[in-house]
Amino acid sequence: MKRIFFFFYFILSALIATAEDGYNLWLRYNKIDNGNLLLQYSSRISGIQFNNTTATLKVAKEELEIGLQGLLAKKIPDQINIVNGSIVAGTPSSSAFISASFKNKELSDLGKEGFIIRTAKSNQKNITIITANTDVGVLYGVFHFLRLLQTHQNIQQLNIISVPKIQNRILDHWDNLNRTVERGYSGISIWNWHELPDYIDQRYIDYARANASIGINGTVLTNVNANALVLTKDYLVKAAALANVFRPYGIKVYLTAKFSAPLEIGGLKTADPLDASVQNWWKQKVDEIYQYIPDFGGFLVKANSEGQPGPQNYGRTHADGANMLADALAPHNGIVMWRAFVYDVRVQKSTENFDSSITDPNAQTIASADRFKQAYNEFKPFDGKFRKNVLVQVKNGPIDFQPREPFSPLFGAMPQTPLMMEFQLTQEYLGQGTHLVYEAPLFKEVLDADTYTNAKGSTIAKIIDGSIDNYSITGIAGVANIGNERNWTNHPFGQANWYAFGRLAWDHDLTAAQIADEWIKQTFSNNKQVVNTIEKIMIASREAVVNYMTPLGLHHIMATGHHYGPGPWVDNLARADWNPVYYHHADLFGIGFDRTATGSNALAQYKKEVSDQWKDSNNIEEKYLLWFHHVSWNHKMNSGKNLWGELCAKYQEGVDSVRWMQHQWNGLKNFIDEEKFQQVKMFLSIQGKEAVWWRNACLLYFQTFSKMPIPAGYEKPDHILEYYESLKFPYAPGNGGNN
Ligand code: GCW
C-alpha cells in the first residue's frame, strides 16, 4: 500500500515539476540541463559574499540565492572570506572589498543604474564581481548574471559594463479602478484596489521582480482615460502600498492625472491652468501625494483627446496645461508625461460640471485636416515652451499602433522638448489576446528609422535617448499587456513583448533576434532546435500579421469599438476619422490615402530626405505605399503584378505564414512541456482561422471596387461579403468604450 502511495506521489510530483503554467515568466531558474556546463558553473560559483544592508540589496541577494539554487540545484552559502568561486556583490558602501578594488571614476561612469560584472583574481582566487554605484545597479547586475546562466553563456572571462541608454523605462497600465483593463486581453487588472492597501498579493512582488529583471523602472498604475478618484486619499493610500512593494526593485509609481480633477474632487469651479486657485489646488494635491509616496514619479496625462478634458477647454494650450502640473511636481523632482495622442478638437463635455463652453478657436481648421497631421500641428509650435520636467509622449506612428506605421513625424521635429516613445505591448490591433505576434521587429523598425533631423543617421533611437538633441531627461513607455491571467499575458508569447520592451528600453542596440534568443532560452529551453524554430516563428510573425490584416500600407481597417477583426466597410461612425473608409479611400479608380502635395500633404511634416523617399508612388517602399498614395488598381508593383494582384498575394502570404508557424510549432511537441505546447497550438489555430477571415473579408470588400477576380491559384473565400459584414462581437474583450 505504502509503496503504491509513494509511486503515485512520485508520478504526481514529476507531473507538477514539468507542468508549466507560465507564471514564472522568464525567471524559471530550472536546473541547468547540460552536465558539462553545470560542472563549469559549479566550479565557478562556490558561494556569495553579499552584505544585504538595504532593502534593495536584500532583494538582490535573495534573487541571486533563489536563482543559483534553482540553476545549480544546490544551496549557495554565504562566505565571509573570499575563496575560489566566490561571487562578490555590492556597492563601495556595502562592500569593503569593492570599495578597495574599484576606482571611483570607473563606478561613477555607471551612473545611477549601470553595473559591472567582472571575472577577477583576488589572492590567486578566481572570483566574479557584480558591482555598481547604487544598490539598484547591483540588482540589475544580479539579474543580468542570472540571465547569463539561464542562457548558458560562458562565465569564465566576464567583463560586462552595462548602462541603460534611456532614463525612464515605464509600463503604462490602462487599468481602471473597477479592474477592467482598456485594451486588455489578459483577464482583469492585477491591481486589486478593493483589497489594497492591506492585502499584498504575491503577484505585486513578482511583477516587480519581472520588471526589474529587464530594467523597467516605472509603472503608471492607471488608465490615461483617467478617473480623478485615484487622486483622493483613499486611493493614494492604496497606490502607496504598491509603491512600497516596488521601491526595493527600483520601480517608481506614477498616476494619470485627470485634467478636470479640481472640479471633480476639488470642489473648484474651473480647471483653467492659468487660474491661481487651480494651480494652488494641484500644488497641494501633489504635496499630499508625496506625503504618501515620497518617491512618486509624476503624472501621465491624456488631455483634449477622445473626450478627455484638457487646457483647450479654457482656450489654453498643451504647454499651459503641462507646465502647471510640472510646476507642482518640480519641487519633488517629479515629471509630467504629456501625451501627444490628440485628435479631438471639438472640446467635449466629460463631466457634469465641466466647463465646455469655451472651445478652441482653431477647432474647425484642425478638424478638417488629416488626423495623421494633428499631433505635429498641435505640438510642434510649442517646442521649447515646456518646463524642464515635461516629456511629450508620442506614439510610434502618426495614427494608432497599427501593424505597420511610418514613424511619427514629431520625432526629430522637437529638438527643445524631450520626446518620449510610446509603444503598445497589448495587441489592440495585432490580434489581441490570441495571435502570436512578436513585436520587437516592429519596435526596432521604428527605433532604427532615420528622421534625418540633423543629418543622415538621426535615428529615432538617438532622438529619444537624448544623444541628438541633448535632452536632459529621456523616456520610453510601453502600454502593458499584463492582467491577472495565471501566465500574466494570456498568450504565452505575449510575455516576449513585455520582455523585449524592457530589454530595448535598456539597450536599443540589441536586435530583435538577440532578444528572442534570450527570451526563448529562459522561457522554454536552450535546446538548439527549440531555440532556432521558435526564433524563426517569432521573427516571421510580425510580417505575417501585417500581411493578413493590413498589407502594403493599409491601416485602421479594424472593426468598430473593440477593433477585433476586419471592418474595412465601416463608414457610419460619428467622426470621419474613426471610419475605416476614411483611411483606405477605396474607390473604382484605386485605393490608398493621398498624403502627398496633391492630397493632405502630411509628407511635408517629414524632413526632405524622408519625404523624398516616400513622395513618388513608383519609388516608395511598397510596405508604405497606401499610407501615402492613392493608386490605381492597375498600378504596377515591383513583382510585376498589378496592385490588386499584389494585394491578393499579400493577404494569401499572411495566411500561409500562419500555417507555416503552426507546422513549425507542431514539430516541437516533444521538446515543450505539454501545457504550454497545447496552449500555443490552440492559439495558433485561432490565429490561422482569423487570418483566413481577414483575407476573405478584406478581399471581398475591396473587390467591390477593383472589380477584378481573385487570381487563379489562390484560395477562394468560403462566404459572401454580407456574411463577413454581419458578424458581431458585442462582448469582445478590451473594449474601453471609445471609438
Ligand atoms: O488606441 C486608442 C485606443 C483607446 C486608447 C487611445 C489612447 C486609452 O483605442 O482605447 O485609450 O488609443 O491611446 O489614448
Give the Cα separation of 297 and 219 in Å (integer).
9
318 alpha carbon – ligand 1 mean position (Å): 19
Question: CB neighbours of 106 closer than 8 A, spacing ≥ 6?
Answer: 116
**What is the DSSP code string of 516-584?**
HHHHHHHHT---HHHHHHHHHHHHHHHHHHHHHHSGGG----BPSSS--SB-TT---SSSGGGSHHHHH
Residue 1 has pLDDT above 60, yes or no: no
Ligand 1 atom 11: residue of nearest CA: 225
CB-side neighbour CA atoms (13 Å) of 512? 22
Residue 704 has pLDDT above 90, yes or no: yes
Give the Cα separation of 214 and 480 in Å (integer).
14
Residue 490 has pLDDT above 50, yes or no: yes
Choose, from 264, 400, 422, 469, the residue flagged as catalytic: 400
Active site residue 320: no
**Helix, strand, coil tally for the chain in percent (to 5):** 40, 10, 45
290 alpha carbon – ligand 1 mean position (Å): 29
pTM over 0.85: yes
For the CA of 429, the closest atom of ligand 1 is 1
Q: Is the CB of 429 inside a 6 Å radius of any atom of ligand 1?
A: no
Q: Is the CB of 174 inside a 6 Å radius of any atom of ligand 1?
A: yes
Q: At what angle do helices 35-44 and 55-72 cross, to 10 degrees?
A: 140
Q: Is the CB of 183 inside a 6 Å radius of any atom of ligand 1?
A: yes
| Strand 252-256 to 335-339 pairing | unpaired
Report residue 369's pLDDT band, with 50, 70 and 90 as the boundaries.
low
For the CA of 563, the closest atom of ligand 1 is 9
Counting ligand 1 atoms within 8 A of each CB, the residue from 428, 429, 564 with the most, and so the one to mutate, is 428
Report residue 230's pLDDT band, with 50, 70 and 90 as the boundaries.
very high
Contact 402, 416 (CB under 8 A): no
Q: Is the CB of 556 inside a 6 Å radius of any atom of ligand 1?
A: no
Q: Is the CB of 694 inside a 6 Å radius of any atom of ligand 1?
A: no
Residue 3 has pLDDT above 60, yes or no: no
Report residue 18's pLDDT band, with 50, 70 and 90 as the boundaries.
low
183 alpha carbon – ligand 1 mean position (Å): 8
Q: Is the CB of 736 inside a 6 Å radius of any atom of ligand 1?
A: yes
Summarised one tens digit per residue, pLDDT across range 445-468 is 999 999 999 999 999 999 999 999
Q: Is the CB of 495 inside a 6 Å radius of any atom of ligand 1?
A: no
Q: Is the CB of 238 inside a 6 Å radius of any atom of ligand 1?
A: no
140 alpha carbon – ligand 1 mean position (Å): 32
Summarised one tens digit per residue, pLDDT across range 69-104 is 999 999 999 999 999 999 999 999 999 999 999 988
Ligand 1 atom 1: residue of nearest CA: 400
Question: CB neighbours of 166 closer than 8 A, spacing ≥ 6?
Answer: 464, 465, 466, 474, 475, 476, 505, 506, 508
Ligand 1 atom 2: residue of nearest CA: 400
Question: CB neighbours of 659 closer than 8 A, spacing ≥ 6?
Answer: 688
Give the burial class of 601: count Cβ atoms within 10 A of its Cβ; 0-12 exposed, 13-18 middle, 19 or more buried. Answer: middle
Summarised one tens digit per residue, pLDDT across range 390-408 is 999 999 999 999 999 999 9
Closest CA to 688 of 569, 541, 560: 541
Question: CB neighbours of 299 closer than 8 A, spacing ≥ 6?
Answer: 254, 255, 256, 257, 325, 329, 334, 335, 336, 337
Edge-to-edge strands, sheet with 86-90: 47-50, 86-90, 125-131, 115-122, 159-162
Q: Is the CB of 224 inside a 6 Å radius of any atom of ligand 1?
A: yes
Summarised one tens digit per residue, pLDDT across range 618-631 is 999 999 999 999 99
pLDDT at position 360: 41
pLDDT at position 257: 98
Closest CA to 590 of 553, 621, 615: 553
For the CA of 736, the closest atom of ligand 1 is 10
Active site residue 485: no
* Helix, strand, or coil (residue 125): strand
Q: Is the CB of 181 inside a 6 Å radius of any atom of ligand 1?
A: no
For the CA of 479, the closest atom of ligand 1 is 13
Residue 608 has pLDDT above 70, yes or no: yes
Residue 696 has pLDDT above 50, yes or no: yes
561 alpha carbon – ligand 1 mean position (Å): 11
Q: Which three cell numbers stand for residue 261?
A: 480633477
End-to-end CA distance of the chain: 64
For the CA of 305, the closest atom of ligand 1 is 14
Q: Is the CB of 578 inside a 6 Å radius of any atom of ligand 1?
A: no
The ranges assigned to domains in the chain are: 20-162, 168-509, 551-726
Choose, from 172, 264, 306, 450, the residue flagged as catalytic: 306
Q: Is the CB of 302 inside a 6 Å radius of any atom of ligand 1?
A: yes
Give the Cα separation of 655 and 552 in Å (integer).
15
% pLDDT > 90, the chain: 91
Question: Average pLDDT over the chain, rounded to whole?
Answer: 93
Residue 300 has pLDDT above 80, yes or no: yes
* Helix, strand, or coil (residue 200): coil
Q: Which three cell numbers stand for residue 120?
A: 577577477
Please give the sequence-ordered ranges of beta strands (E in DSSP) within 62-185, or none if there are none.
86-90, 115-122, 125-131, 159-162, 168-172
Ligand 1 atom 4: residue of nearest CA: 738
Contact 128, 91 (CB under 8 A): no
Q: Is the CB of 535 inside a 6 Å radius of any atom of ligand 1?
A: no
Higher pLDDT, 20 or 389: 389
Question: CB neighbours of 7 closer than 8 A, spacing ≥ 6?
Answer: none
Residue 679 has pLDDT above 80, yes or no: yes
CB-side neighbour CA atoms (13 Å) of 659? 7
Summarised one tens digit per residue, pLDDT across range 251-270 is 999 999 999 999 999 999 99
326 alpha carbon – ligand 1 mean position (Å): 24
pLDDT at position 573: 85
For the CA of 401, the closest atom of ligand 1 is 1
Active site residue 106: no
Query: What is the rounded average pLDDT of the residues 548-554?
Result: 98
Count the neighbouring beta carbons within 10 Å of the beta carbon of residue 121. 8
pLDDT at position 577: 82
133 alpha carbon – ligand 1 mean position (Å): 39
The vertex-535 CA angle with 532 and 536, nearest 5°, equals: 85
Cα-trace Rg, the chain: 27
Query: What is the rounded average pLDDT of the residues 181-199?
Result: 98
Looking at the structure, give the CATH architecture of the domain made up of residues 551-726.
Alpha-Beta Complex (3.90)
Looking at the structure, give the CATH architecture of the domain made up of residues 168-509.
Alpha-Beta Barrel (3.20)
Number of H helices, E strands in the chain: 24, 15
Summarised one tens digit per residue, pLDDT across range 312-364 is 999 999 999 999 999 999 999 999 999 999 975 543 333 323 333 333 444 43
688 alpha carbon – ligand 1 mean position (Å): 27
Closest CA to 673 of 517, 490, 533, 525: 525
Residue 732 has pLDDT above 90, yes or no: yes
pLDDT at position 467: 96
For the CA of 182, the closest atom of ligand 1 is 10
381 alpha carbon – ligand 1 mean position (Å): 24
Q: Is the CB of 88 inside a 6 Å radius of any atom of ligand 1?
A: no
Q: In CATH, what number does 20-162 get?
A: 3.30.379.10
Residue 368 has pLDDT above 60, yes or no: no
Q: Is the CB of 426 inside a 6 Å radius of any atom of ligand 1?
A: no
pLDDT at position 435: 98
